[in-house]
Amino acid sequence: MELKHLRLVKTIADEGNIANSSAKLFLTQSALSHQLKEFEERLGFKIFARKRNQWDLTEEGVELYQLANNVLASIDEKLNQIKNIKHDSGGKIRVSSECYSFYLLFPSFLQDMSLLYPNIEVEFVYDATHQPIPKLLSYDIDLALVTTKSSNQALSCYEVFHDEVCMLMHKENQLSEKAYIEAADFADLHLLIHSYPLDTVSVYEHFLKPNNILPSRISDIPLTEVALEMVKADMGVMCIPKWAIKSFENQKDLVFKPISMNGLQRSIFIVIRNADSSKKHFKDFISMFEECQNE
């Protein structure tokens, strides 16, 4: 027995004839009659007694009609509850990150998010970049994207995905023939970063700092296009996440190299205040972001 059969029985009984019922069910009279006949054969009894243009329920049909009413009413009630839950899943979430490159993760995610949760508004707070945890604690933002798990007891951290940071360089760079880049190789390099402080630069915080290495020269270049032109002119190197490499794949003069033998792996965390961890629109944001990045 399928829901379409219950709807068919209920509609014919309510309308009293097949002509009106076919319009309600968006079926031709022939298709409706065929479905009803097939259903009666499967059940082994007649549901309706046909009298010219009047269709009356048989004794068995009355019981089936009551069942159809109960089942369909229950389904409609639950669907309305689900719709209300979705309608209530609304709110504004102010987002910032420890690194400007992380904002590139959001376009496709926001597109999916807006379709499933149109009542959730996401606002990027770029002024809080590089200091998202203090801004989260001061209630200037609601959600932070970071690479180091916070130990603050007032915050909840969720690991949402892993990525790898690679080095982007000109093909004629002296390191371009190496299988991978070692910490000592940075000592003679001109490293292009998006902005200071260095503690917000992943390659420094997670690789160079633990190895007590500082590049011979570091330049902060806020515009990625300018930094890229410098790399293409062999005037420096950039370190970028592996998921961002697609943006540079057609640059024939550029090469990408792993950092360290095992690659520079890092975890990405979403951090929110404990008080927000039970709110549905925050939980929906986190689960959808994690799902989107791991597809």
Intrachain domains 3-75 and 89-295 with the same fold = no
* Six token digits for residue 138: 């001061």
Q: Give the per-residue pLDDT at 182.
A: 96
Q: Is the peptide bond before 197 cis (omega within 30 degrees of 0)?
A: yes
pLDDT at 89 > cutoff 60: no
Pick the CATH number of 3-75 from 3.20.130.10, 2.40.30.10, 1.10.1380.10, 1.10.10.10: 1.10.10.10
User: How far, CA to CA in Å, does 194 sit from each of 124, 179, 219, 224?
Assistant: 18, 26, 8, 7
Q: With contact defined as beta carbons under 8 Å apart, do 237 and 168 qualify?
A: yes
The CATH number of 89-295 is 3.40.190.290
> Could you state, in order of their start, the residue ranges of all structural domains in the chain?
3-75, 89-295
Lowest mean pLDDT across 14-28, 77-91, 183-197, 224-238:
77-91
What does pLDDT average to over the chain? 87
Q: Give the per-residue pLDDT at 167.
A: 95
pLDDT at 47 > cutoff 80: yes
Q: Give the per-residue pLDDT at 294.
A: 78
Q: CA 295, 225, 265 angle in degrees (round to 5)?
A: 40
Q: What is the pLDDT of residues 206-253, one digit of tens each?
A: 999 999 999 999 999 988 889 889 999 999 999 999 888 776 667 788
CA distance 218 to 196: 10
Q: Give the per-residue pLDDT at 216.
A: 93
Helix (H, G, I), strand (E, B) or coil at 158: strand
pTM over 0.75: no
Q: Give the per-residue pLDDT at 170.
A: 94
Residue 193 main-chain phi, psi, to 5 deg = -120, 165
Q: Give the per-residue pLDDT at 249.
A: 67
